[in-house]
């Protein structure tokens, strides 16, 4: 693109109309240019509309990973949670394993739920085979965390790692926290039967715990 086109695209990405920003992100992704990468990342950090953020991510994935990955990794150190979350989401879409070392325990277990969820998704995409057992251990430390949506996201991430999660799930089923135990039992159920559904798996896990408690009382 010529410089005036670049300037217009930059202005359009900041337009007050979300549909204009969406079209601008689409245009940038259709004609990728390294000059746009920093602006796309800047918008990812502040864009309020989900569908526009998703298009910004798509536009970034259209650029060479050799250009985007270093900048995305830098964003993981941002003080703004949305910047970190979107950078992680974009790294999961790029899917380049060179970004794996940047997915730290701090990101995977941090207090911000959206950042942690994005880190879980990125980690299971990027982790090398020999790192998956350790990743499973870190993810299992988050069992029982948050609301239903948060727990379902964690179960999905764990299940994506496959059979390697079984030892950590079995260990978690002995955790003194009943919320952790239910979540671990439900996740193993879903690993065995992905079509069971999260709610069904949770209710079944609760029944298993009740039956187990009754058996101990007897």
User: Is residue 49, in this structure, part of any structural domain at all?
Assistant: no
User: Is residue 181, in this structure, part of any structural domain at all?
Assistant: yes
User: Is residue 203, in this structure, part of any structural domain at all?
Assistant: yes
User: Is residue 143, in this structure, part of any structural domain at all?
Assistant: yes
Q: Give CA–CA dist 159/21, Å, rounded.
A: 36
**Domain housing 204:** 131-218
User: Is residue 35, in this structure, part of any structural domain at all?
Assistant: no
Taking each continuous run of H as one helix and of E as one strand, the counts in the chain are 13, 0
Q: How far is CA 18 from CA 27, 48, 54, 184, in A?
A: 14, 9, 12, 41
Q: Quote the number of domains for the chain.
A: 1
The tokens describing 145, both together, are 């965390």
User: Is residue 112, in this structure, part of any structural domain at all?
Assistant: no
User: Is residue 214, in this structure, part of any structural domain at all?
Assistant: yes
Q: What is the pLDDT along the chain (218 residues), one digit of tens a residue?
A: 443 378 888 999 999 999 999 999 999 999 999 999 999 999 999 999 999 999 999 999 999 999 999 999 999 999 999 999 999 999 999 999 999 999 999 999 999 999 999 999 999 999 999 999 999 999 999 999 999 999 999 999 999 999 999 999 999 999 999 999 999 999 999 999 999 999 999 999 999 988 875 545 43
Helix then strand then coil, % of the chain, to nearest 5: 80, 0, 20
User: Is residue 152, in this structure, part of any structural domain at all?
Assistant: yes
**H-helix segments, 16-99:** 18-30, 37-46, 50-61, 65-75, 81-94
What is the greatest pairwise CA distance in the chain?
79
């Amino acid at each position: 693109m010529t410089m005036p086109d670049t300037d217009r695209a930059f202005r359009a990405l900041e337009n007050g109309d979300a549909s204009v920003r969406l079209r601008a992100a689409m245009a940038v992704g259709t004609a990728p240019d390294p000059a746009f990468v920093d602006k796309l990342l800047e918008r990812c950090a502040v864009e309020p509309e989900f569908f526009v953020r998703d298009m910004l991510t798509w536009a970034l994935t259209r650029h060479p990973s050799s250009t985007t990955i270093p900048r995305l990794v830098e964003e993981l150190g941002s003080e703004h949670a949305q910047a970190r979350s979107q950078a992680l989401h974009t790294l999961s879409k790029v899917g380049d394993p060179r970004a794996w070392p940047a997915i730290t325990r701090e990101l995977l277990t941090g207090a911000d739920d959206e950042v942690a969820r994005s880190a879980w998704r990125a980690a299971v995409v990027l982790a090398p085979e020999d790192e998956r057992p350790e990743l499973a251990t870190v993810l299992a430390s988050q069992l029982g965390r948050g609301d239903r949506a948060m727990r379902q996201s964690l179960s999905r991430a764990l299940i994506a790692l496959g059979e390697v999660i079984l030892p950590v799930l079995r260990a978690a089923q002995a955790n003194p926290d009943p919320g952790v135990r239910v979540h671990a039992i439900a996740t193993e159920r879903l690993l065995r039967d992905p079509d069971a559904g999260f709610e069904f798996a949770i209710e079944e896990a609760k029944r298993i715990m009740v039956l187990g408690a009754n058996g101990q009382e007897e």
